[in-house]
Amino acid sequence: MRSKLPNTGTTIFSVMSLLAAEHHAVNLGQGFPGFPIDSKLIDLVSKYMYRGFNQYAPMPGVPALRELLSAKMKKSYGTSYNPNTEITITAGATQAIFTAITAFIHPGDEVIVFAPAYDCYAPAVEICGGKVIWVEMDYPDYSVNWEVVKEKINSRTRMIVINTPQNPAAAIWSKEDMHALQALVSDTDIIVLSDEVYEHIVFDGLNHQSCALFEDLAARSLIVYSFGKTLHATGWKMGYVVGPAHLMSEFRKVHQYNVFSCSTPVQHAIAEYMTDEEVYNGLSLFFQGKRDLFLAAVQGAPFEKKPSAGSYFQLMKYNNWQNHNDVDLAKKWTIDLGITCIPLSVFYPSDKNEGIFRFCFAKEDDILFEAAQRLKQIDKTHAK
């Protein structure tokens, strides 16, 4: 057998979560909310199940949900998306990203990806026979060097994948970044795939800069969103993608054969639930409270910290990381201290061992306090 992903093994999330379970660790590694979803939403799903909405949904998604999302995009970003031809409901954001890449990338095509990068981008490109062209960003601000990006673009560049708010770096792109990207792709046939699943989780009065806000970018972008992140229901694997009709037509050609349609009662429930705009407009304030609580709780722990700008992750750099491998440290802390995080080096194509770790603060307050207490014990159990 000839593997399509010969260098790919078990993800770091699976490895660390299994280790956390074995050692009963506080798991701030994998990014999922550690608190229940709104019971109103559960009741709505049950309502639509009992009403008989249990068979296949239309391939693009339930019309009522697509219409709600069209109105939401117009109100949030001022851009009109036709619910019939420019919005598709997906089985989570990862499926949307895989489908978008599969729909457009041919063998030999190049795709620019910014690192540290969420781990589903590169494998999808490789499966399609494409080549990932990496642009690395650096601690602590993870800003983009646009001159480097410009040098990477050539006639083989088919797509640029962006992610803001960024996971794992917990950074956000500015309006100037978006204008720079727009200028680089102008007068090209490059497609932008924009992962914006944390659109509603931005802190300190900053604003999310969606591709939908910029006319030229919107005209060439497929933008991916996640109900799982917005509604605290990652296990439902529900998301959506918006984009101009000529791109969405190609997207749906692949979507209809690798998924076809998504959960019917859940779609109807979300369509009714999200008529209350507060369910997503209040997220930034809610998660900023979680971030601030966690940062205050870890004061005194041996880490350098810059407050997260967006997402529900916080990066921290271990003060005594020198001469230690960050993956080994993360495993050691899970086993010895019962605290699990994700080392940032795994999100880079190069050897980027700098002692930086990602912590998920989308947890109940008592869990965050317990995690902080364990982090304060690191230097007592770890030989410097």
Gap between the Cα atoms of 312 and 199, Å rounded: 11
Gap between the Cα atoms of 191 and 176, Å rounded: 19
Q: Tell how strand 110-115 and strand 131-136 pair up.
A: parallel
Confidence of residue 11 (pLDDT cuts 50, 70, 90): confident
Q: Which CATH class is domain 55-276?
A: alpha beta
Of 215, 276, 219, the closest CA to residue 243 belongs to: 219
pLDDT in tens, 312-349: 999 999 998 888 899 999 999 999 999 999 999 999 99
What are the DSSP calls for 42-58, one per residue? Answer: HHHHHHHHHTT--SPPP
How far is the first Cα of the chain from the last one, in angstroms, to the nearest whole number? 45
pLDDT at 293: 98
Of 346, 316, 313, the closest CA to residue 167 belongs to: 313
pLDDT at 383: 46
| Mean pLDDT, all residues of the chain | 96
Q: Tell how strand 356-360 and strand 342-343 pair up.
A: antiparallel
Confidence of residue 381 (pLDDT cuts 50, 70, 90): low
Confidence of residue 382 (pLDDT cuts 50, 70, 90): low
Of 129, 192, 213, 201, the closest CA to residue 171 belongs to: 201
pTM for the complete prediction? 0.96
pLDDT in tens, 108-155: 999 999 999 999 999 999 999 999 999 999 999 999 999 999 999 999
Check: CB of residue 203 under 8 Å from CB of residue 291: yes
Tokens read off for 90? 């997906």
Gap between the Cα atoms of 164 and 28, Å rounded: 21
Gap between the Cα atoms of 248 and 314, Å rounded: 34
Cα 32-5-220 angle, rounded to 5 deg:
65
Fold (CATH) for 12-30+282-378: Aspartate Aminotransferase, domain 1 (3.90.1150)
SS (H, E, C) 81-106: CCCCCCEEEECCHHHHHHHHHHHHCC
User: Once rounded to an integer, what is the mean pLDDT over residues 301-307?
Assistant: 96
pLDDT at 321: 87
- Mutual angle of helices 365-375 and 283-297, in 10-degree steps: 30
Distances (CA, A) of 36 to 232, 275, 316, 317: 8, 20, 27, 30
User: Once rounded to an integer, what is the mean pLDDT over residues 69-98?
Assistant: 98
Task: Collect all residues with Cβ–Cβ distance below 8 Å to 32 and sequence separation of at least 6.
Answer: 234, 235, 360, 362
Confidence of residue 384 (pLDDT cuts 50, 70, 90): very low
Amino acid found at 41: L
Residue extents of the structural domains in the chain: 12-30+282-378, 55-276
Gap between the Cα atoms of 56 and 330, Å rounded: 43
What are the DSSP calls for 264-329, one per residue? Answer: HHHHHHHHHHTTSTHHHHTHHHHHHHHHHHHHHHTTTSSEEE---SBSSEEEEEETT-TTS-HHHH
- Mutual angle of helices 264-273 and 39-50, in 10-degree steps: 130
Amino acid found at 101: I
Which runs of consecutive H residues, i.e. helices, occur in the chain?
12-22, 39-50, 63-77, 93-104, 121-127, 146-152, 175-185, 215-218, 227-231, 245-258, 264-273, 278-281, 283-297, 326-337, 365-375, 378-381
